[in-house]
Amino acid sequence: MTLEQPCVVVLGGSGFVGGHLRAAFRSSGARVVSVSRTRPGDVGGNGPTVEHFVVFDLLAAGPAEVGAMLADTGADVVVNAAGGYWRMTDQQMWGANTELVSTLVAAVRTLPHRPLLIQLGSVHEYGPGSRDTGITEERTPAPANAYGRSKVEAARCVLDAASTSELNGVVLRIANIIGPGLPAGSLLGDIAAHLERFAQDGDAAGRDLVLGPLNAERDFVDVRDVADAVLAVTRAPRADVSGRVINIGSGVAVSAARVAERLIELSDLPVRLVERARTGTSRSDVDCQMLDVSRARQLLGWVPRRNLDASLTGLLGAA
């Protein structure tokens, strides 16, 4: 960013990703405004702390209300880290991921000072992948689940507006995010919570951790690397990023079973992973997803810096 002490508004600032974004932007010297339904906690971060909090229900507000809130902040950058997946119905995901973004885009269009809108998307927008090659941004989205469908429609809303120069907007399609603070509800968040409970009480019943089939292969990226990527977007020339989709991931697919086993190994606790056999032949999710992150390297100068062990160790340390 070329602006002196720019204002960065983080929507969903009380969440897992939002907290890391706030810390990263504070460390960069930006003035941070965190917007969420509740006042967030802190995940650390170095540098001057210039941060404000706005308690605001994005799901209950219309474009005029959201626009007025953003205008009051003087936003130079708006990062949408709001939304949801874990423990949500399909209808709730559509509201949190699609309708919210539609409202946000309508609001940003009205602002006289046009901020950069960064929409945090998902690898699940693409649908099934291949073990042979990473998914590029040219791939036509074909989401295989309700979450992916809700996110791809949100992305289209941003990209359509950017294509007509109604706003400056970029979509980051992000791999499966892990790292410090990953909440329960996700597979690895649930495992980390189980390990923490076992470490505290030593309950023998916790020695066996029974999980469903773990044969899927996924691209995992550290939440701190995601925050670095978002910062890199704000520093890139807007003409280079606006209207673009940029993949953010590790570029490697790892089996869910191996990641779960490694998390238990790093905990050094006597917990045994027991994987239930798959029943039936139907499957609502995809077996392999791996992103090609060449565009992020070319446009942003970004590459992931943290390996899987660093991410899992960070998750255990924060549990």
Measured CA distances, 62 to 84, 118, 293, 303 (Å): 19, 20, 35, 37
Q: Which residues pair with 122 in a beta bridge?
A: 174
3-state secondary structure string across 277-311:
CCCCCCCCCCCECCECCHHHHHHHCCCCCCCHHHH
| Residue 101: burial class (beta carbons within 10 Å; 0-12, 13-18, 19+) | buried
* Cα torsion through 156, 158, 159, 165, rounded to 10: 150
Known catalytic membership, residue 126 = no
From 126, 147, 220, 302, active-site residue: 147
Structure tokens belonging to residue 173: 């399609």
**Cα distance between residue 42 and residue 122, in whole Å:** 25
Helical pair 100-109 and 146-163, crossing angle rounded to 10 deg: 10
Half-sphere exposure of 286 (CA within 13 A, CB side): 23
Cβ proximity of 126 and 289 under 8 Å: yes
Nearest of 104, 100, 125 to residue 116 by alpha carbon:
104
Q: Which residues pair with 10 in a beta bridge?
A: 34, 79
Show which residues are catalytic.
147
